[in-house]
Each structure stands twice: as structure tokens, then as C-alpha cells.
Copies of this chain bind each other. A is one copy, B any other.
Amino acid sequence: MSGGVKFPTVGVIGAGQLARMMIAPAIALGINLKLFAASSDDSAAIAADHVVGDYLNPEQVLAFAKSCDVLTFEHELIPNSIIKVLEENGIAVRPNSSAFIYSQNKAEMRKVLQENNLPSPKWELYTGAKPTEISFPLIAKSISGGYDGRGVWVVGSESELAEILKIQPSLLLEEKLKFTTEIAVMVARSPHGQAATWPPTLTIQRDGICIQTITPAPDLSDTLKVSAQEIALKIADVIGLVGVMAVELFVVDDQLVVNELAARPHNSGHWSIEGSVTSQFEQHLRAILDLPLGDTSMRAEFAVMGNVLGGAKTDMYRPYLHLFARTPYLKVHQYRKEVRAGRKVGHVTAIGNNLTTLESEVSHAVNYMNGAVDE
């Protein structure tokens, strides 16, 4: 007897690093975690109970879902129509299809934000006719499926736009904003309607991929910090979010503009594993199980997270000998993915009160891990 009869089973569609990082809080809380993986070699599948299946197959997904008490997601790729099939079959899906759609479909996201007077760039759907609202250069985005800079184009002319339309038949156009910085706010909401945010995070991008985050975002006024959290809470409320969600925002002078939504744990919230009393991963589990949410206070003045992007080195273990001796407070999270150029294969976090030191140690660690520096 494992004493497990009283503990719920959470099913997760996907078994990448986000599911991997749910394992630790699930074990602490005693929750059974079960993953719907694409392969037994997936980042989280190598360390947790899972079944291998195809998320495009409604029968397979439904059979999996029936073995769980609550179903959630670590990516947006499962068709919303399949989520609806699950709901019609009485599965508790959290977030549900009508909340998750805003994370899956950028056109729906823009509509709901506009309807609720939430700050957006100028936007329109592109159907092949000349854009009416927005002038070039502009941003074109896939309606669905884009991430880490994929599915996003800076477009200088109508002919360029026509070329993209050939490979991507459905496009959202947005004005190209001259932003100062990019920030993200993580927000959590439970079926009861209890909601909580963490302090806004500065996300530093290179080539469309986040390389480092700093929490709380430095050089952001208290007014904008509060405003960013209010926007995140309002979005969570209007879409009926259950779980955690990243709200990515541009800071344009003293204005905030919503860039993207992702209704799941998110790279910009990884700092919370060490940096907050309650991590985004634990909070997601609490929220989808309708448990009271945890304290989102920070454990130190600053938390700096650096993504380890695949580089020349393929051995992600041996660097520990140097890095742990150099920075005894550095915390490492390995995703156990095959190292490929530019791919996120892990992250490191350092928390403390001296931001300059934290940034320097985190930068050094990721550069050492991927081979950009060798001492």
C-alpha cells in the first residue's frame, strides 16, 4: 500500500522540460504525475510515469485523459478541437478549451484583448489584400504554432509579405513597436477565482530567443510594475484562466503593450523555482487542483536566470567541476535534451542581493556550459 488512494493524478500533455520541472513539486505534494509523451526519450519522460502517444489522435488522448483526475498542458500544439472532445467526455481540462484558445491562436488573443481594452499594438488579419491599419516595416506572425522567434517575421514590403503568405497561409500583422525592454508577468488563477502574480521579469532576447531574465525587472517604475501585474490579473480573469500563464509585454516608453500569452509554465518564470516561495510549477499544480495558491514572495532581492543554449560542447555534466567550484550558490536545471545549436538544453539560476554579481555569474555559467568561454 502506497497510501496513494487519496492523492489525485495530474495528466500532462507533453513531456518536455516544463513537464520535467513539474515533477519535483508533484513529488513534494504527493501528487501522481502522468505524462503524455511523444517519445520515451523526452526530457520529462525519462524521469516520470508516462505513456507514448500522438496528441493529434483524439482516441489516444481521451484514453490517457480518462486515467487522470485533471488534465493540463505543457505546450499549445494539441488542437483545441481535441480539447473540446475531452470536455464533452467529462474530462476536467485545466485550463479549459475556451481559456487555452488564447494561448493557441494569436488572432483570438488579439480579439479578446481588444474587446477588454487591454493594451495591444495595432493589428489586423492578413488575407492577401494590402494592410490597411499598419504601415511597413511590420511584424507578421503565424496565427498558431510559433515560439522562440519561429513563426515571426519582420516584413519590409508588400511583396515580402506575399512571399511569407506562400509558406504560412494564415497571418496576423502587428505594428512594429519601438520598445525599450520586454518584460513578462507570471499569473496564476484557480477555479475558485483566487489569483496571484509574481513580480515582473525582464526578459533579455537574442535572435528572438530569451537568453537571460532578471526579476524583478530593473529600471521599471513601480507604477509600471503594478500596471503589468494588473494587466496579467485582468487577462486571467477575462479569459477564465485556470493554471499559470505568462503575459509577455513590451515596455514602450511609459506604456505597456501585450505581446504574447502562454497559458502554462513559461521560461520567463523559471527563476521562481529558487527565487520565490512558490514556484510557477508548484503553483500550476495547486491552481489546476483548485488548492489555495502559494505565497509568491521572493526569497531574495533579485533572481537571475540564464538559458543554456546548445553550442560547441555536448557534455553538459563535466562543466559542473568548474562551475560549482567557482559559484557554489549556482543552481542548475538540466533538460537532458540532445545538444543542438541554439536549442535550450537547460538553465541556471542565481538569487541574491547583488544584481551585478548575479548577472555576471549567470552569464559566465551559460557561456562556459555551451563552450563560448573555456574558463
Interface residues of chain A, those whose CB is within 8 Å of chain B, are 1-4, 6-8, 20, 23-24, 27-30, 41-43, 46-49, 277-278, 286, 291-295, 297, 299-300, 314-318, 320-321, 324-325, 328-329, 331-339, 345-346
- Are B299 and A2 touching (Cβ within 8 A)? no
Q: State in angstroms the CA–CA spacing of A334 and B26 once bound together.
A: 10
Contacts of A332 in B (CB 8 A): 28-30
Among B6, B7, B293, B328, contact of A292 (Cβ-Cβ < 8 Å): B328
- Are B23 and A345 touching (Cβ within 8 A)? no
Interchain Cβ contacts under 8 Å between A and B, 15 examples:
A2-B336, A3-B336, A6-B315, A6-B316, A7-B334, A23-B24, A23-B27, A24-B24, A29-B334, A30-B335, A277-B328, A277-B331, A278-B328, A292-B325, A294-B329
A282 to B, closest residue via Cβ? B331
Please give the distance in Å from A85's CB to the nearest CB on chain B: 29
Contacts of A7 in B (CB 8 A): 316-317, 334, 336
Q: Is the interface of A mostly helix, strand, loop or mixed?
A: loop
A349 to B, closest residue via Cβ? B28
- Are B291 and A4 touching (Cβ within 8 A)? no
- Are B41 and A2 touching (Cβ within 8 A)? yes
If A2-B46, A277-B329, A325-B292 touch, whether A336 touches B41 (CB-CB below 8 Å) is no
Among B1, B41, B47, B325, contact of A41 (Cβ-Cβ < 8 Å): B1
- Are B292 and A339 touching (Cβ within 8 A)? no
Q: State in angstroms the CA–CA spacing of A277 and B328 once bound together.
A: 9
A289 to B, closest residue via Cβ? B320
Contacts of A320 in B (CB 8 A): 29, 291-292
Q: State in angstroms the CA–CA spacing of A329 and B294 once bound together.
A: 6
Q: State in angstroms the CA–CA spacing of A7 and B335 once bound together.
A: 12
Q: State in angstroms the CA–CA spacing of A125 and B286 once bound together.
A: 53
The 7 closest A-B pairs by CB, nearest first: A30-B334, A24-B24, A292-B324, A295-B328, A292-B325, A295-B329, A2-B41
Among B324, B329, B336, B339, contact of A291 (Cβ-Cβ < 8 Å): B324
User: A3-B337, A30-B316 provided; 10 other pairs, C-beta below 8 A?
Assistant: A6-B314, A6-B316, A6-B317, A7-B316, A24-B27, A29-B334, A30-B334, A30-B336, A47-B49, A295-B329
Contacts of A8 in B (CB 8 A): 317
Q: State in angstroms the CA–CA spacing of A328 and B3 once bound together.
A: 25
Among B3, B27, B286, contact of A339 (Cβ-Cβ < 8 Å): B3
Contacts of A2 in B (CB 8 A): 41-43, 46, 336-338
